[in-house]
Copies of this chain bind each other. A is one copy, B any other.
């Protein structure tokens, strides 16, 4: 899959393009090339979100994320479901950074 190039894109447009690229990097590996199977989701979680989610190696953790995301129960995660996960994680990260910064300000 080819995407418009990143030149001239703003910071936010680059972020949007990176999310689209990441999804398709994994979704194209097997089965439906526009959705993530359980194996593709596991690979995405461990490779791309290792720093935030810790070790998602165990099958139970992957099954739980798949269960939470796969709102139509077809065993596949589509792009909209993926964006909901990334959005929720980004909100959680932002809350964490704000709290961290407030503590850091108080120390000074």
Contact = CB atoms under 8 A, between A and B. Distances in A.
A11 B91 contact: no
Contact of A101 (B2, B8, B9, B12): B2
A25 B98 CA distance: 14
B49 A10 contact: yes
Nearest to A13: B51
A14 B52 CA distance: 12
A16 B86 contact: yes
A61 interface: no
A10, A19, A47, A84: which has the most chain B beta carbons within 10 Å? A19
B101 A10 contact: no
Given A10-B47, A12-B48, A12-B49, 17 more contacts: A1-B98, A4-B97, A8-B51, A10-B50, A11-B18, A11-B21, A11-B22, A12-B86, A14-B15, A15-B15, A15-B18, A17-B93, A18-B18, A20-B97, A80-B91, A83-B87, A83-B91
